[in-house]
Amino acid sequence: MTIKKTKEATAPQKKKERKEKPAHLIARAKAKFMTYQVKEPCELMDFLMKAKDGISRTTAKSLLSKRQVYVDNVITTQYNFPLKPGMKIQISKDKGKKEFRSSLLKIVYEDAYILVIEKRGGLLTIGTDKQKERTAHSILNEYVQRSGKQNRVYVVHRLDRDTSGLLVFAKDEKTKFTLQDYWEEVVKDRRYIAVLSGELENDKGTVTSWLKDNKMYITYSSMSNNGGDKAVTHYKTIKRANGYSLVELELETGRKNQIRVHMQDLKHPVLGDVKYGDGNDPLGRLALHAFKLSFYHPVTNDLMEFETPYPPAFKKLVLKTS
């Protein structure tokens, strides 16, 4: 997992100008932490003991084990983590959290306002009235409620059940609405890796169409405006072999079933796609993974960049055999 955080001096020039961050949100970000700057190289444990007016080693360990310490906005529990001048240390004023473990998802980033996770294929983002099974939303709710029964997480966007990869959740309603209301301006880059049925003719290209659901909730695509939502997907072929294509997909828009329907439009559907595929399912799963997500933090305005390796099984399909 690759995580990068940079501070942008100017807003990105996207379809429309990003709106100014309300001052009260920046203030709220600072209020939940005690913040310190690292001035000389040292280990995290030693820094905490000095910064907190000579607290004991036991107290410092407790802060780390309860996941209350952030190094450059990332929760850090390693007592001998090496610090460098210029790093920012924050100690959360919230109650500490216990270690998180789940076979269905992994937390790749957490702060006081957001959670970024990598979910496994087959896990719903959130349940419906008809689907009451375990979901990413319910698992994360259980996790944050260990620190207080009033805590909960909020869905910002979704991945299809059978798609694996990166997802963002908010930890309060204000952050949720900030992300959703400014989504087109906040998100800088969303990319997926997929394995497609057949070998793509073009090295790269763009699919543009209008997507609309019929009465059976099947999304269909029209090359002319049919009153649906305009969808744009850019694709780049990484490798072709053995009757498959490994492709990178970049979303200019984020519509329901967009990638799956657009790959069907190309006559090269995503492997394992029961709804929009051709029956080709060598992996026993949908071969679609959200591997890259870059967005501006809804409170601090930092550019957050996350990248996760795609499943090794994807690569094996396009390894040339003798």
Q: What is the largest CA-CA distance in the chain?
A: 68
Identify whether the C-beta of residue 239 lies closer than 8 Å to the C-beta of residue 245: yes
46 included as an active-site residue: no
Identify whether the C-beta of residue 230 lies closer than 8 Å to the C-beta of residue 302: no
Angle at which helices 57-65 and 44-51 cross, to 10°: 110
Residues 6+ apart with CB under 8 A from 123: 104, 105, 134, 135, 136, 161
Q: Which residues pair with 233 in a beta bridge?
A: 207, 251
Task: Tell which residue, 10, 133, 34, 23, has the closest CA to residue 88.
Answer: 34
Residues 6+ apart with CB under 8 A from 201: none
Residue 278, both tokens = 């051709």
Among 94, 111, 160, 162, the one annotated catalytic: 160
Identify whether the C-beta of residue 76 lies closer than 8 Å to the C-beta of residue 92: no
Residue with tokens 């360990």: 61
Residue 119 sits at φ, ψ, to 5 deg, of -100, 155
* Radius of gyration over every alpha carbon of the chain, rounded to an integer in angstroms: 22
Identify whether the C-beta of residue 65 lies closer than 8 Å to the C-beta of residue 85: no
Identify whether the C-beta of residue 192 lies closer than 8 Å to the C-beta of residue 249: yes
Half-sphere exposure of 248 (CA within 13 A, CB side): 13
Residue with tokens 């780049």: 236
Task: Tell which residue, 304, 306, 300, 301, has the closest CA to residue 35.
Answer: 300
Q: Kindly list the catalytic residues.
A: 160
